[in-house]
Amino acid sequence: MATLMELLPIWTSVFFTLAVYSFLYGENPWYRFAEHAYAGISVGYAVAFNLDYLRDQWFDRWSLQGGGMMAIYIVCILIGLLWYARFVKKYFHFYRWTLAIIVGTGIGMALRTVIFTQFLNHIIAQARIPLFVAGDMNSTISNILIAIMTPCVLLYFWFTGGAAEGGPMDYVRKIARYTIMAGFGSAYGYTVLTRYSLFIGRAQFLLGNPPNPPEARMAFIVIAAVMLITLFGSDFLRKKD
């Protein structure tokens, strides 16, 4: 028989799962409690994680590299504290400095990553792709389609509205449209299947199907009954009044 310390996380997981799904019934206190608890725990964890990271950086790295690095560390901490100037109208302009530093640095780092991962690396991979793979017809067909579809989509966006109707560009536009719609359709289908997979996994947990703990089934029955009774009861009393 499971102990109290083993049952507590199971019942807690079932409760918050059902509380979130209770939103399908409508806005209610169960859902609001789960929403606020999730937001509060997430923020608290993030704050604790970042403070722990700062402490580790100080003791394991910055404090060991001399006075210059120590000064830089202190300046960084002070810049971070300027975020709280947002709550004081008199010093709100200091908050803009911190925001500008964070946004500018983030955009600069992101652009460098995007250029390499989504532009240069794709061009290199496209140039190196073999059109024919000996003994593997599926890879051969896939590579040929990639070699045709990728340039067609790029040409479609580069010359949309600029190229005259008729000629080879008509075939390029048609191939590009089919490619784009296939990409959108597959991305949407993948997203839907992922959500269904998450839902099925959570339903199996609530029903206690192996390898999930069987105690979750009883928790599901009890907590679901309590939530339904309270929701129906509150609606009935509200309508009666």
- pTM value is 0.69
The contacts of residue 139 (CB under 8 Å, 6+ apart) are 133
d(CA 228, CA 130): 60
Q: Label residue 114 by pLDDT band (50, 70, 90).
A: confident
d(CA 1, CA 116): 56
User: Could you tell me if 217 and 208 are in contact, meaning their C-beta atoms sit under 8 angstroms apart?
Assistant: yes
The pLDDT score that the predictor gives to residue 164 is 57
The tokens of 162 are what?
């600029």
The pLDDT score that the predictor gives to residue 127 is 80
Output the average pLDDT for the chain: 86
pLDDT digits (tens, 9 = 90+) for 71-83: 787 888 888 888 8
